[in-house]
Amino acid sequence: MKRFPPVVRRFLPFAAGTVFAFLTAKGRGLSSASAPARLIALSDGCFAAGLLEAGFGLLLFISQDGFFDIFSYAVRSVIVLFTPFRRPEDLPSYADYRIMRRERRRKPGTALLLTGIAFLAASAVLLLFVRHSFPSEVI
């Protein structure tokens, strides 16, 4: 499988997050008449995109670190136990399985996690700007 160039791997989460944030903000009232409502809608969109991207990025980071190896080994053991084609003696031990997985594992990517954190920070900045610039109009 051919990997994407580093520029694309870093730009793709940003582009997807921007589209998701814009669609969420559009649904929350981006085309509203008042400026505070538009900024709050943009803040909500950035928050939703940031939460999703940071959550998935954190799960990917943890997964590539080897945290979920025990679960994949357990599922594999159960499948071997209940299928007649393989014997349980052929299954490697958990220690051997972890070593085998560690050798195949790539370096954890952080582009999705960092992009999600950036969207969350943008949401906080927008919300603080609304609270500071329009204190009497904020809902």
The whole-number pLDDT of residue 1 equals: 39
**CA atoms of 139 and 137, how far apart (whole Å):** 6
Dump pLDDT digits (tens) for 60-101: 888 888 888 888 888 888 888 888 777 777 788 888 888 888
Dump pLDDT digits (tens) for 30-71: 887 788 888 999 999 999 999 999 999 999 888 888 888 888
Mark whether 59 and 84 lie in a shared domain.
no
Mark whether 54 and 95 lie in a shared domain.
no
Q: What angle do CA 112, 50, 129 make, to 5 degrees?
A: 135
Domain that holds residue 72: 67-104
Domains held by the chain: number: 2
Mark whether 61 and 126 lie in a shared domain.
yes
Mark whether 95 and 135 lie in a shared domain.
no
> Mean pLDDT, to the nearest integer, of 107-136?
89
Mark whether 84 and 50 lie in a shared domain.
no
Mark whether 74 and 100 lie in a shared domain.
yes
Mark whether 61 and 71 lie in a shared domain.
no
Whole-structure pTM value: 0.78
**Is the predicted pLDDT of residue 137 greater than 80, yes or no?**
no
